[in-house]
Amino acid sequence: MALRLELPVATESRSLEDSVAQVRHWLETTDRVLLVCDGADSPELLRRLLPRKGHCHVLITSRAHDFQLLGIVDAVEVVELPHLEAVEFLLRRTGRVNTGPEERAAAHALAQELGGLPLALEQAAAFVVTKAVSFADYLTLSLIHI
């Protein structure tokens, strides 16, 4: 992260702790920042990095259930969408509510493949819209890259 932010990185003469402190300082002093910690299944590892002040927004996705160590007492649990809701989400999010039967069938297959996970559905829908591909094309592309 320090490298991407063009901050000093850990070297033989600079400790990892110093680089982490530099990143945390940047997060605390920069406006309009969203830090996404995806798959943070060991929340205690985030403790050193998370900003303690400032205007940084933090989104943590995790399979863990206890975040009290990070000062988060009441985490929001995001559950899988039921299959039909997942399909409807894909169709609405991509503006394809009135699509034909083949595209609708592909939306069903994609919702099934993604297990109704809201973040995965959103990412897939964003890709479909941005790249102007069909759900079937997305399924083919994603299976190639797995």
Q: What is the mean pLDDT of residues 33-40?
A: 89
Element containing residue 124 per DSSP (H, E)? helix 118-131
Q: In this structure, what are the phi and psi dihedrals at residue 10, rounded to the nearest 5 degrees?
A: -65, 135
pTM score: 0.62
Output the six-digit token pair for 92: 């609405």
In this predicted structure, which of 3-12, 31-40, 74-83 has the lowest mean pLDDT?
Answer: 3-12
The tokens for 1 are 């992260």
Q: Return the bridge partners of 36, or none.
A: 59
CA 131 – CA 110 distance, rounded (Å): 16
**Predicted local distance difference test score (pLDDT) of residue 145:** 54
Supply 26's token pair.
Answer: 């940047």
pLDDT tens per residue across span 44-97: 889 888 998 988 998 888 888 889 988 888 888 888 999 999 999 999 999 999
> What pLDDT score does 143 carry?
66
Question: Which amino acid is residue 97, in one-letter code?
Answer: V
| pLDDT mean over 6-29 | 88
Do residues 57 and 38 touch, judged by C-beta distance below 8 A? no
Cα Rg of the chain (Å, integer): 20
Task: Tell me the mean pLDDT in the region 31-51.
Answer: 89
Structure tokens at 15: 């400790």
pLDDT at 8: 82
At 57 the three-state DSSP class reads strand
pLDDT in tens, 85-143: 999 999 999 999 999 999 999 999 999 999 999 989 999 999 999 999 999 999 998 76
